């Protein structure tokens, strides 16, 4: 029993460690349009991938310093909700 519980806990760790951001949900009518959001973010980041993740806009790419980033943005304001930046 103990080893089964341990294995289950270990299996869940990656999902917990890389959980997405919790963006405030807004009505779609209040979102910055996807094309506009992408264009604004591309002016600040080298965007390799842009997607919608739940109630967030999410990018994968590089910042101006050339470090890899994964950043979640509020769909209404483009405020950063969560950022993971390469050290």
Query: Mean of the pLDDT values across residues 59-67?
Result: 97
Per-residue pLDDT band at 1 (split at 50, 70, 90): low
Report the DSSP pairing between strands 46-53 and 56-62: antiparallel
CATH top-level class for 21-85? alpha beta
Domains of the chain, by residue range, sit at 21-85
| For the chain, percent of residues with pLDDT exceeding 70 | 78
Q: Tell me what pLDDT residue 31 has.
A: 98
DSSP 8-state code for residue 26: -
């Amino acid at each position: 029993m103990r080893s089964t519980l341990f294995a289950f806990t270990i299996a869940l760790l990656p999902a917990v460690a890389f959980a997405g951001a919790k963006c405030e949900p807004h009505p779609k009518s209040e979102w910055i349009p996807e094309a506009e959001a992408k264009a604004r973010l591309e002016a600040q980041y080298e965007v390799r991938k842009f997607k919608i993740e739940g109630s967030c806009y999410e990018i994968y790419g590089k910042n101006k310093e050339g470090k890899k980033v994964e950043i979640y943005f509020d769909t209404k304001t483009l405020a950063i909700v969560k950022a993971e930046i390469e050290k």
